Structure 1
Amino acid sequence: MEEADAYRTAFRRGLRLGLPYATVSGVLSLSFGVVAVQAGFTVLQAVVTSALVFAGSAQFAALSVLTAGGGVPAALGAATLMHSRFLAMGIAVAPSIPGGPLRRAVEGQAMVDSSWALANRGDGTFDRGLLLGTTVPQYVAWVIGSIVGALAGDLLGDIERYGLDALFPTFFVGILLAELGRPRGRVAAALGAAIALALVPFTPPGVPVLAAAVAALVGLGADPTPTEAA
């Protein structure tokens, strides 16, 4: 009973913490809906893509390949590469999700960058209620934003003039700042940035980000110091 109460409390707290990120999600998905329809998607295709994929970086990567004349396999490859970071994140969060394989697989779908960071207790475990609760408003906003963008694309026109391209880096910088207080966080961030910058001129998009994840290994052996999620 106490465990269920703790889960509900964490879930409700996650809903509150997820609201600021939901605002960003809504705007980003709105821009995807606009660009997708302008690139030839139907409204239904744009909305279903957002509802099923729910990942801005993967969706925009696939869209850029398709609009450049690439085929579906190439688009799926680009999306998979952009999503590859979730392999490491999933391995980290797996021990904190109870139940059988099907339940764990379903609940694992709620793991997005911000919810993963906020649910991280800093000691190698994750708060399941916080993880799921934080994602709910973001997903709802993501789907609604895609619907609005797909339907109102003609009215909005050139989406780039609104400066929405700045939201992605700002979003991830916000997550990064929350992680810098963890053991060796600043060292890992600096090393990851150095790796990514060094590879950008020579490798395809997505590879620098994937390679930069190696910097996280500097945290191995560090004394865990739990931090309170903001």
Structure 2
Amino acid sequence: MSPRSVPSVPEQTTTSPEKTGETAETAAGEVKSDAAVVRDALGVGIAVGLSGFAFGVTSAGSGLSLLQTCVLSLLVFTGASQFALVGALAAGGNPYTAAAGAFFLGVRNAFYGLRLSQLLALPRALRPLAAQWVIDETTAVTLAQPTRRAARIGFTVTGITLYVLWNLTTLVGALGAEALGDTDRWGLDAASPAVFLALLAPMLRSTTERITAALAVLLALGLLPVLPAGVPVLLSALAAPAVLFLMGRRNGSPGDTPAMAATPTEDGR
């Protein structure tokens, strides 16, 4: 056979799985500029970071020293658990009970980490450092992004901004506790949950998601007066399997639907 009679074979290019995944993500999700991601992340970090004032004041008013207050923000860095701890101490609770309640409230961050580890796919060397920033706000910003690149930017910018600002305002709040007075007048303690709810609400698109969120709220509020701090939040997660079970019962289990094998294909098999 002459060289001219040899059919030409198109050159094949190999693409790594990670690159293919990035391309699929970009095609599936909406295009979002890096500047837009940074802007959103800064907005969340600054808004929630101001709550550090309230924590510094509350912690100092609960009898904790300046060093203890600052170490809590540096090492624990999960606002709800910190407020639960100093709130229980201010009410005269046992330190061990207060610490246990704060621990249970912070357990939710471990579940966030399971999802974010797959989404961000960070190098192993960076994962221990990134774990310190796995909180409500960084999770919400990360999950709202359409691509892995945007998710990494959102997580990093939110984490850095919130960590730095939270610790700075904690220090200022603890130093100026007497000058600021009652934190209820400022309403700073409501900034963190308000921002988180604003981030979460647009993500509840389907009826199932809205029902699950509503049931979780009812469980948390109903159990709050009878269980230690932090436990109602964990038990509210039972809303998800409960709703899924009821939806499955209403729609019928997969075993009740005709098998695909029973449907003839185009070639009659």
Q: Shorter-chain TM-score: what band?
A: 0.7 to 0.9
SS in 1 for 2:50: helix
SS in 1 for 2:85: helix
Q: Matched residues in 2 for 1:78 and 1:10: separation?
A: 41
Q: Say which of 212, 228, 232 aligns to 1:208.
A: 232
The residue that corresponds to 2:9 in the other structure is none
Q: Say which of 76, 82, 100 aligns to 1:53.
A: 76
Pair 1:67 & 2:105 matched = no
Assess if the C-alpha contact under 8 Å between 1:47 and 1:147 holds in 2: yes
Q: Matched residues in 1 for 2:173 and 2:56: separation?
A: 4
Q: Matched residues in 2 for 1:46 and 1:166: separation?
A: 19
Assess if the C-alpha contact under 8 Å between 1:18 and 1:138 holds in 2: no
- Write the deviation string for residues 116-175 of structure 1: whole angstroms up to 9, x where unpaired: 11211589x792332122221111110111111011112111222223343344233213
| Structure label with greater radius of gyration | 2
- Tell me the number of residue pairs that the alignment of Structure 1 and Structure 2 aligns: 216
Counterpart code for 1:157: G
Pair 1:172 & 2:190 matched = no
Q: Matched residues in 2 for 1:10 and 1:110: separation?
A: 23
Q: Matched residues in 1 for 2:140 and 2:51: separation?
A: 19
Equivalent positions of 1:11-30 (< 5 A) are: 13-30=36-53
The residue that corresponds to 1:106 in the other structure is 129
The range that moved more, 39-48 or 180-189, is 180-189
Q: Matched residues in 2 for 1:186 and 1:154: separation?
A: 43
TM score, norm. by length of structure 1: 0.79
The range that moved more, 62-71 or 52-61, is 62-71
Query: Offset at 1:115?
Result: 1.7
Assess if the C-alpha contact under 8 Å between 1:195 and 1:208 holds in 2: yes
Assess if the C-alpha contact under 8 Å between 1:115 and 1:131 holds in 2: yes
The residue that corresponds to 1:189 in the other structure is 213
- Write the deviation string for residues 89-138 of structure 1: whole angstroms up to 9, x where unpaired: 111122233322x5322222222212211211589x79233212222111
List alignment gaps of at least 5 residues for structure 2.
Answer: 1-17, 20-31, 248-269
SS in 1 for 2:176: helix
Assess if the C-alpha contact under 8 Å between 2:66 and 2:171 holds in 1: yes
Assess if the C-alpha contact under 8 Å between 2:220 and 2:232 holds in 1: yes
Query: Offset at 1:33?
Result: 0.7
Q: Matched residues in 1 for 2:33 and 2:170: separation?
A: 28
Assess if the C-alpha contact under 8 Å between 2:48 and 2:195 holds in 1: no
Counterpart code for 2:68: Q
Q: Say which of 165, 169, 172 aligns to 1:145.
A: 169
Q: Matched residues in 2 for 1:11 and 1:139: separation?
A: 21
Q: Matched residues in 2 for 1:113 and 1:182: separation?
A: 21
The residue that corresponds to 1:225 in the other structure is none
SS in 2 for 1:194: helix
Report the CA distance shift for 1:165/1:110 in structure 2 as closer, same or farther (over 3 A).
closer
Query: Offset at 1:72?
Result: 3.5
Q: Equivalent pairs: percent with the same residue? A: 33
Assess if the C-alpha contact under 8 Å between 1:19 and 1:137 holds in 2: yes
Query: Offset at 1:14?
Result: 4.3
TM score, norm. by length of structure 2: 0.69
Query: Offset at 1:200?
Result: 2.8
For the aligned residues, what is the CA RMSD? Answer: 3.2
Q: Matched residues in 1 for 2:62 and 2:200: separation?
A: 32
The range that moved more, 78-87 or 37-46, is 37-46
List alignment gaps of at least 5 residues for structure 1.
Answer: 4-8, 222-230
Query: Offset at 1:182?
Result: 5.9
